[in-house]
Amino acid sequence: MASGSDEVTMDTCAVCLETYTQPKFLPCHHTFCAKCITDLANRQTGGTFPCPSCRKPTSLPEGGVAALQANFYLRKQAENSKEMCKIHNTRELEFYCIRCEEAICINCKMTKHEQHQTEDLPTAIQQKREEIITENARIQKAEKDLRENLKATRAEQQAVLDKKAAVEKNIRDRHAVMVAAADKFRDEALDSLSNVSTDINGDIDQILEQQENDLKELLRIKRQVERAWNLVKASDVVSVVQELKTGRGSEQALAKMTSQKMKAVCRPVLHFKVTGDVILQKTRDFMGTVTKMEMEVAAPEVRVVKRFPCGQDDDIEVFSLCHVDTDPPCVWVSFERRALLKDTPEAKYSEDGKYQRSYRKGRVSRRRYTKGRDTARSGSVSFIVTCCKSLLAAHFNLSNYLSGKATVFSYKNISTDQNNCNVECSINVGAHRAFDVDETEQFFVVVEEPTFPEMWRKVKLYQRPGGDPVSTYTPPAHLSCFQPSDVCFYKLNGEQVLLVTDELNDCIHVVYFQSGQLSNVPFLAPGCPWLIQPTAITVDVSARLWLACRGGTIICMEPVNK
């Protein structure tokens, strides 16, 4: 019997979906094959069965199916539709040659196909139709898969366009930063030029004023000398001579007047520490270069469910964030402007991105599954403290000292009062950017800042109570540069993994670790158009991931199969 998905035509039985065989009328005037009516009657009890077309209760006459009226029109049509042999055109096709795989007539069977195995054509055609149905199901499945692949490819194409737009915005933002910085430095240089020129001109003005006064005095003496020839009074003549010998007109006085001149010249000049080629290279480095990055997808996939901006300008960097499961839930965000010793502002937002309030210091770590940063001062020593908390007490914290070293403290005998906790062990590590602790609290991972002459941060895994890293994460070979910004342990497909945000390659590495060894990765949410320079990541109590990107974009992701 054909599948229900086959098309019903005028010469097709609505039950078997085949060409009518012995078509019979039911009392409701609907036509079906005699065999189909028999099967329907046999499956029912009570002597009645519903018509397959109108569902009207139907009873067979005393003679059964044979006593039903035949549909002579459909039977004649079926007889007229019989296919004739192309070789013996007066003979009907009755057999199927298994060897030659073709329909033949009785004459063909007795001549050309005499030694071949054959079977009745209706039986063979029924088998072939069943094969077609099976193959058709395969074709339909392939069509469905192809359509899904096409849909995914189109979605990927749109994601590439979205990512292109996001990267283009990032490039334009960087250009705007450079233009704004260049304008600022230009104005500072012009102000400096004005100040230096004013200072030089001030010195010159003093000399000019003295020289002009001396010239006026000299001209006065000259006029007195010229009048002395015509003076009548002897006292006036004697006075002029005395002034020429011992007064303002004396040789010494004139020498002093003429000595008031520029002994050195000053000019404003532009000093710079790098050449034009270096400036261009640094400008190119800051602007960045666009590369093609291939990323294997981690399963299960995740989707973006929330996205909102925070902060006031593109220069803001979100150092850390946490989701607090209050009523209503909220997101705390800790900002940084690349100034380690300045107070780090912290802002509180609703899950939908509505600003609520701020603090001047980052105090992000509050509940389980979160981590954050706080600042502290002790005498002349300034340091950063990052805490991972279980309920109300810190199990781990990491102090980052100005010396470039850091210490991880783990606690035992935890109480609600952290001051009563006993330090179980402390491990010295390099100056850190971020760190996290796994669910067993036996491993913790640190993003260490680079030490000269290195350029890039490193992700190192430690195990209590040892003092040396048990493994250092090595990124895929095709990533020539790698700049981790944050880490977060996470359950992915039932397995605990380490998520590493890479702000240089706009991606999230999924790192597996077994027996304390960090192994290579697929990527989470590759190609997400809003994932631009991720700087922070954390997980909430609902297993959703919260990410922050440079410029203040906050993204919430959840697994697709949730």
Across-strand partners of 50?
57
Per-residue model confidence (pLDDT) at position 6: 42
Q: Hey, what amino acid is at 493?
A: N
Side-chain-side CA neighbours of residue 302 (13 Å): 27
Confidence of residue 380 (pLDDT cuts 50, 70, 90): very low
Rounded CA-CA distance 499/474 in Å is 14
Q: Hey, what amino acid is at 13?
A: C
Q: Which one is predicted more confidently, 328 or 227?
A: 328
Handedness of CA 206, 209, 215, 216 (dihedral sign): negative
Q: Would the pTM of this model clear 0.75, i.e. be above it?
A: no
Confidence of residue 561 (pLDDT cuts 50, 70, 90): low
Rounded CA-CA distance 409/239 in Å is 96
Of 94, 126, 122, 124, the residue nearest 109 (C-alpha): 94
- What is the CA 274 to chain-centroid distance, rounded? 36
Least-confidence region, from 20-34, 144-158, 244-258, 394-408: 394-408
Rounded CA-CA distance 353/555 in Å is 10
Rounded CA-CA distance 444/168 in Å is 37
Of 300, 306, 299, the residue nearest 546 (C-alpha): 306
State pLDDT tens for residues 509-531: 999 887 778 887 888 887 788 88
Least-confidence region, from 115-119, 145-149, 268-272: 268-272
Pick among 1.10.10.10, 3.30.160.60, 1.10.3720.10, 3.40.50.720: CATH of 23-128: 3.30.160.60
Place of tokens 């069943």: 130
Residue 91, pLDDT > 70, answer yes
Average pLDDT, the chain: 77
Confidence of residue 560 (pLDDT cuts 50, 70, 90): confident
Least-confidence region, from 150-154, 379-383, 549-553: 379-383
The greatest distance separating any two alpha carbons of the chain, rounded to the nearest whole angstrom, comes to 177
Measured torsion, CA atoms of residues 281, 282, 286, 291, in degrees rounded to the nearest 10: 30
Per-residue model confidence (pLDDT) at position 384: 38
Peptide bond into 328 cis (omega under 30): yes
Confidence of residue 271 (pLDDT cuts 50, 70, 90): confident
Quickly list DSSP for 480-541.
S---EEEEEEEEETTEEEEEEEETTTTEEEEEEEETTEEE---EESTT-TT-SSEEEEEE-T
Report the pLDDT averaged over residues 334-360: 69
Percentage, residues of the chain above pLDDT 70: 79
State pLDDT tens for residues 493-507: 888 899 999 988 888
Report the pLDDT averaged over residues 327-351: 70
Q: Which one is predicted more confidently, 292 or 78?
A: 292
Residue 135, pLDDT > 70, answer yes
The three-state secondary structure class of 200 is helix
CA separation (Å) from 233 to 236, 381, 429? 6, 88, 101
Residue 400, pLDDT > 70, answer no
Is 398 in contact with 432 (CB distance < 8 Å)?
Answer: yes
Handedness of CA 137, 139, 140, 145 (dihedral sign): positive
Phi, psi of 250 (to 5 degrees): -65, 165
The three-state secondary structure class of 393 is strand
Percentage, residues of the chain above pLDDT 90: 7
Of 297, 201, 254, 257, the residue nearest 526 (C-alpha): 297
Place of tokens 């977060």: 488
Report the pLDDT averaged over residues 16-32: 85
Handedness of CA 215, 216, 217, 219 (dihedral sign): positive
Confidence of residue 78 (pLDDT cuts 50, 70, 90): low
Peptide bond into 268 cis (omega under 30): no
Per-residue model confidence (pLDDT) at position 423: 57
Residue 18, pLDDT > 60, answer yes
The three-state secondary structure class of 269 is coil
Give the residue extent of every domain in the chain.
23-128, 129-287, 302-372+436-559
As given in the structure block, the two tokens for residue 562 are: 């949730």
Phi, psi of 203 (to 5 degrees): -65, -40
CA angle 60, 61, 67 (to 5 degrees): 105
Phi, psi of 152 (to 5 degrees): -65, -40
Per-residue model confidence (pLDDT) at position 379: 31
Least-confidence region, from 25-34, 272-281, 439-448: 272-281
Q: Which one is predicted more confidently, 441 or 132?
A: 132
State pLDDT tens for residues 180-203: 888 988 898 899 899 989 988 888
